[in-house]
Amino acid sequence: MTKIGIITGSTRPGRNSPQVAEWVKGIADKRGDAHYEIVDLAEFNLPMYAEPVSAAYSQDYQTPEAIPWAKKIAELDGYVFICPEYNRGVTSALKNAIDYLYLEWNNKAAGIVSYGSAGGVRAAESLRITLAELQVASVRAHPAMSLFTDFVKMSEFNPAGVHEKSVNAMLEQVNAWTNALEPLRKKKNE
């Protein structure tokens, strides 16, 4: 069965991304079309990127924390990024985690669920540019939540019912694209 990782996009204390990830997973698990799991960036405790050679050229990771991170990302077939918007962009924790790897990301599909004062759309667009460089196909459907209307006091996630439909549309596209890219992943691993 296809394995889709729901990646939290923040590591700070008091973050909202675990609540959003749990909500997305609850919707996803009802579908039965893939195995979904939450991948919490905070659990990997990645230091600031300082590998001596770019992951685009070598998977000889020198940072001990990079090894389990690489293993986890490599075993997944596709992703859903929970993307909070900080200062009109992705969080430093998410960008740092993405930058640690290269080949592990290739030929996979990703959906983005964003949130922020303006729905997190600027962070999502920034993330799409980064994912394109990693040969990750980001899908069009994009649930975007507002800190003002989908959270109580900006900290307790309480999404409007309309968002469930957009999450399902995004998951439909992620699964279709993930399956379509499978021959490329198999060819790369031969």
Each residue of 109-131: pLDDT tens digit? 999 999 999 999 999 999 999 99
Q: How far apart are CA 160 and CA 75, in angstroms?
A: 33
C-alpha count within 13 angstroms, C-beta hemisphere, residue 71: 6
Q: How far apart are CA 6 and CA 57, in angstroms?
A: 26
pLDDT score recorded for residue 143: 98
Which CATH number is associated with domain 3-189?
A: 3.40.50.360
C-alpha count within 13 angstroms, C-beta hemisphere, residue 146: 5
pLDDT score recorded for residue 187: 84
Mean pLDDT to the nearest integer, 63-76: 97
Residue identified by tokens 């991304």 is: 17
pLDDT score recorded for residue 188: 74
Read off the pTM: 0.96
Mean pLDDT to the nearest integer, 137-153: 96
